Structure 1
């Protein structure tokens, strides 16, 4: 895996490092990604596990979701990077809230004219529906056409490495933040991915939609 060195975002510039795994490349979602992203967000098999719970009906709806998501991330970044430098240094790094567009490296390197996003993945600060603890949640979903290739495990492992390399904690008072994932019990493939990647089961419960779920957590220890 390769990654760029972290950079310090300013109020006018929000930069998130990109990285790649053996077969996948991760770049922050952009406003121009709606058409390529629609294949994923229009798939009922994928969106049933999302918070939205249903597929996007059109590229326009995908664009609307994308614009809203990017606006939220940008607003958080600008709020966190505004003000004196000494104040900014004490605030959370705004790059921690990020949604990546995941593409197949072979497709990118082939120079294919048609762009294709095979997954949406990222991290967001959220309170767990199971334990009530607030920390960063890791999430991902892949288009059905690439299921069975082992991409989910590869992506999760790559994201975990990226996270703990970028945010290892610099002192005894700055401990690395753990990450967690909420997985439906009815989704055995994702349960296996969490176990394979070294996440530990910490609790079971029911989410806001009445679905039986399991919470997994990982700390950089």
Structure 2
């Protein structure tokens, strides 16, 4: 059912496609270098920089947590789950570092293999003082290039109907991104990267219990 804000209910279909094989251990993941940045696995020494990121309200408002970490101990627990040898290896995510200084300024990558629309999800966070410098586009281009180069395997999965084209059970692989309707800057970045808006739906925000309008974007593998 469509709503006045364009939101509709999620609908699911089963497709045959490809997805990355289990990600390589972090110890085997080579850093990715861009013009200004280094993307690498998380390290325990990132704690203070990671905390600086996660206490900025203007950054955390866009996350599922919705608010800043309360103290360093909370950040330490979040980081611990992302270190090499942990369950964090089930994600293809990186610490994003400013190459000139080596400081960690954000995180990015595919943080969920099964996202809100059924496909893997890609996203990023940066400290606000680095906004407006084209970093998001630079990072996402690098992450997507590395992601699409990962070894693949054949799978059968359930995905949101809006992400597929035609009636064929066999579908090219896709990756998705989800933003709040009010996050125009991220929507602009996704447009530059070739993502298309495919779905609008509402979910209850866990902290405020207010219904939020979400925008779902999808991009097709360049190898199709």
The TM-score, its normalising length taken from structure 2, stands at 0.72
Partner of 2:18 in structure 1?
none
1:126 and 2:114 are equivalent in the alignment: yes
Tell me: CA distance 1:170–1:48, structure 2 relative to 1, closer, same or farther (3 Å). closer
Asked whether the 8 Å contact 1:14–1:74 carries over to 2, the reply is no
Q: CA deviation at 1:166?
A: 2.1
Match of 1:52 among 65, 73, 90: 65
Partner of 2:193 in structure 1?
197
Q: CA deviation at 1:67?
A: 1.2
Larger helix proportion of the pair: 1
Q: Which has the higher contact order (CA 8 A, sep 6+)?
A: 2
Matches within 5 A, 1:57-136: 57-70=70-83, 74-75=86-87, 94=90, 97-108=91-102, 116-123=103-110, 124-128=112-116, 133-136=117-120
Partner of 2:40 in structure 1?
27
Segments of 5+ residues of structure 1 without an aligned counterpart are 1-7, 78-93, 109-115
Matches within 5 A, 1:154-169: 154-167=138-151, 169=152
Asked whether the 8 Å contact 2:81–2:87 carries over to 1, the reply is no
2: CA distance, partners of 1:150 / 1:20: 15
Tell me: CA distance 1:175–1:23, structure 2 relative to 1, closer, same or farther (3 Å). farther
Asked whether the 8 Å contact 2:196–2:219 carries over to 1, the reply is yes
Q: CA deviation at 1:104?
A: 1.2
1: CA distance, partners of 2:29 / 2:187: 28
Tell me: CA distance 1:43–1:76, structure 2 relative to 1, closer, same or farther (3 Å). closer
Asked whether the 8 Å contact 1:122–1:138 carries over to 2, the reply is yes
The TM-score, its normalising length taken from structure 1, stands at 0.72
Asked whether the 8 Å contact 2:82–2:88 carries over to 1, the reply is no
Partner of 1:181 in structure 2?
177
How many residues are paired up? 183
Larger strand proportion of the pair: 2
Deviation per residue, 1:2-49 (Å, 9 max, x gap): xxxxxx957xx8532321211111011122211111111010000011
Tell me the secondary structure at the aligned position of residue 81 of structure 2.
helix
Deviation per residue, 1:36-71 (Å, 9 max, x gap): 111110100000111111101222211011113448
Partner of 2:4 in structure 1?
none
